[in-house]
Structure 1
Amino acid sequence: MNSKSLTGKRIAFLATDGFEQVELTKPWDAVKNAGADVILVSPKDGEIQGMNHDEKADMFSVDQSVHTASAEDFDGLVLPGGVANPDALRMCDDSVSFVRDFFKQHKPVAAICHGPWTLIEADVVRGRRVTSWPSLKTDLKNAGAEWVDEECVCDEGLVTSRNPDDLPAFCDKAVEEFAEGKHAAQKA
């Protein structure tokens, strides 16, 4: 993968207050360093609060409201974890629709840690092989996914990882999938 493999691509990062900061910043840097334009999308205007586990971390400026965002305008999506972040996102209809639309349009999506909670709400994990933070195992299985305990899993453009320790593999695979950009077999 060359260092600018994502030149000309637009990648959305969907998050709100309570995201695990490193699960946004490491993929953000990897995608940006590969040449992509990165856009922070949120149901909240202004700034959102990052977390280092259970401690408040930095504030991040939102680039675009999820209420006006369209998956058509992006080439891929990243869903950072943290507990509060995906829990809030899955309660926001526009966030859930935004996520679902990436799957309808066969675009790659990368979700780490608790990020797959939003995928469950969007009903896009049925029949997919995924991983996550261990406490989501039953939720994902109940939603029809095949849950596995692996560092990084890719199923037809859906990249998932378990926790911050998996970030190197997660970032590499996300960049690879965003560069490839086509998943005709991806299930809607």
Structure 2
Amino acid sequence: MMKTQFKLAFISLALMAFVACDSTSIKETTYSDGALKTQTPYNDEGRIHGERKEYNRDGQLIQTETFNNGKKEGLSRVYYSNGQIKEEVMFKNGKENGAYKTYNDRGDLILQMNYKDGKKFGPFKQYNAETLQLIEEGSFGEKEQLDGIYKQYNKEGLPLSEQSYKDGKKDGKFVYYKGAGEIDREEMWSMA
């Protein structure tokens, strides 16, 4: 009986110590009229830790960000006043890292790209916010510069140009289109 009580007391103390080590307090800020503006969780070291929320004057949620010990970590979102997601980006150790997307106020995807250690990296696509036609696509290299084939389209989705880049410099064939996708002119570029 005594052993069981001792074990229960030990487990209870261990749990209380664990919870106390990971406690957070919420700081709220308000607009001049008293409406809630932000809710920010802080850990015992005074660093933002958890999900921070921001609201407009009407009480509508306009931004959420997740922090881990003072650094952004995980998904951050910005919202339109109608509640639709406007922008979302992944963070790791305080830097953009992973998918980045923007949407129009109807919730349609209009830009998708990736980040790596806080820099644009990899393929991207951008769409017209009204027609949702693809208007440009390409890829960013290590130094946030165009790398590979970059294409532009008009609002009907017909090609305007196709360009070749290497580390942000023109390198290779550039094709410019007119009208219904007819070639207007071609250029050759070399980094040499």
TM-score in terms of structure 2 length: 0.22
| Bigger share in helix | 1
**Higher Rg:** 2
